[in-house]
Amino acid sequence: QVTAKTAFLFILPQYNVSVPTADGELVQYHYGLKDLVTILFYIFIAIVLHAVVQEYILDKINRRLHLSKVKHSKFNESGQLVAFHLTSVIWCLYVVVTEGYISNPQSLWENYPHVYLPYQVKFFYLCQLAYWLHALPELYFQKVRKEEIPRQLRCIALYLLHITGAYLLNLTRLGLILLLLQYLAEFFFHMARLVYFTDENNEKLFNVWAVVFVVTRLFTLTLYILVIGFGLPRVESQALDPERGNFFSFLFNNILFRMSVLLLVCLFQASVMWRFIHFQLRRWREYWNEQSSRKRAAAAASTKQQTKPLKRDSGYHENGVVKAENGTSPRTKKLKSP
């Protein structure tokens, strides 16, 4: 029994409470320091799954494609993230649908703070934190190039900041929807990269990703405005109460603070869109330069064929009659019969 309790501490989410409802009691969860133990266990699980995907799927594909070192590293990164994002999108979509967060958008801010979480919501957040924390030692295990490490560290830090902030500030419902939108766009991007590495002439999925990216940015900005601008200011409990998990809803009564937060959100989304537009313009420029160089090469080849000197018969032409080089006609003379 002692070992079983210790095992449950690592495997199952802790801090369960019975919340009375109209139909009886409902078991829900809140967070605490014991969550760190559970996260540590799932970090090791994520490392094992990462190695399985790498060895049994990605390495076999790499051996067939014969990619360069740079493309090999990017292919491994995108392959791992495609598997993770696809799993997370399906899992997150199931959670938000079963919990009714999509069918009832008001639930994103109603009864804030959302201190008590359903089992599947808490377990999802713990697994997400474990995955992005496991990505730190994977930078060493995967022998990532030094040039790529700062970019990947920024990505990991942003995801950890978003997930941890939503988890600790009791904004888990809003955080789930935002993660779903972000992971959906990232899935199409990394899937497009995988297809591009297998066939460099196939860039159709990049166009699909561009559309999905713009749509998800618009939905993300709309959610921020809806929740921060209209939802949280209407919460009944507006007093600062850290014990109940109400950290900052009272600040949204101040219109200056609310507008400042929305301005920061809009500026951040605008910077993301600017980087996206810059990336698309650079990709289109490279595509048109490649197409123009191909057309110039084809035109030069056709011109070379047209100006190629024709092979002439021996001798020269005089008044339309071919003469031999010594001036005599090459036509054979008939011999008179004796």
With CA atoms as reference, report the closest residue to 111 among 240, 235, 27: 235
**How would you label 124-154 residue by residue, b for 16+ Cβ within 10 Å and e otherwise?**
bbbbbbbbbbbbeebeeebebeeeeeeebee
Burial classification of residue 326, based on how many CB atoms lie within 10 Å of its CB (0-12 exposed, 13-18 middle, 19 or more buried)? exposed
- SS3 for 169? coil
Predicted confidence (pLDDT) at residue 335 exceeds the cutoff of 50: no
Q: What's residue 252's pLDDT?
A: 63
- pLDDT band of residue 73 (cuts 50, 70, 90) is confident
Which tens digit of pLDDT belongs to each residue from 239-259? 665 666 666 665 666 677 778
Q: What's residue 95's pLDDT?
A: 95
- pLDDT band of residue 337 (cuts 50, 70, 90) is very low
Structure tokens of 332?
Answer: 């054979």
Q: What's residue 338's pLDDT?
A: 42
Q: What's residue 185's pLDDT?
A: 94
DSSP state for residue 316 in the 8-state scheme? E
Quickly list H helices, the chain: 2-11, 35-53, 59-65, 69-98, 119-141, 149-168, 172-198, 204-224, 255-306
Distances (CA, A) of 114 to 172, 202, 226, 232: 7, 46, 17, 12
Rounded (5°) CA angle 164-167-170? 140
DSSP state for residue 285 in the 8-state scheme? H
User: 120 near 97, Cβ under 8 Å?
Assistant: no
User: 54 near 73, Cβ under 8 Å?
Assistant: no
Structure tokens of 149?
Answer: 């490490």
Rounded to whole angstroms, the Cα distance separating 223 from 228 reads: 8
Q: What's residue 233's pLDDT?
A: 74
Q: What's residue 125's pLDDT?
A: 96
Structure tokens of 283?
Answer: 């990709």
Q: What's residue 182's pLDDT?
A: 94
Q: Under 8 Å CB-to-CB from 234, ≥6 apart: which residues?
A: 109
Region 282-300: mean pLDDT is 79
Rounded to whole angstroms, the Cα distance separating 79 from 67 reads: 14
Q: What's residue 141's pLDDT?
A: 84
Share of the chain above pLDDT 70, in %: 83
317 phi/psi in degrees, rounded to 5: -100, 140
Which tens digit of pLDDT belongs to each residue from 120-169? 999 999 999 999 999 999 988 888 888 888 999 999 999 999 999 899 88
Region 191-200: mean pLDDT is 87
Q: What's residue 242's pLDDT?
A: 61
User: 184 near 93, Cβ under 8 Å?
Assistant: no
Question: At which residue do the structure tokens 């978003």 appear?
Answer: 162
Q: What's residue 334's pLDDT?
A: 47
Whole-prediction pTM value? Answer: 0.81
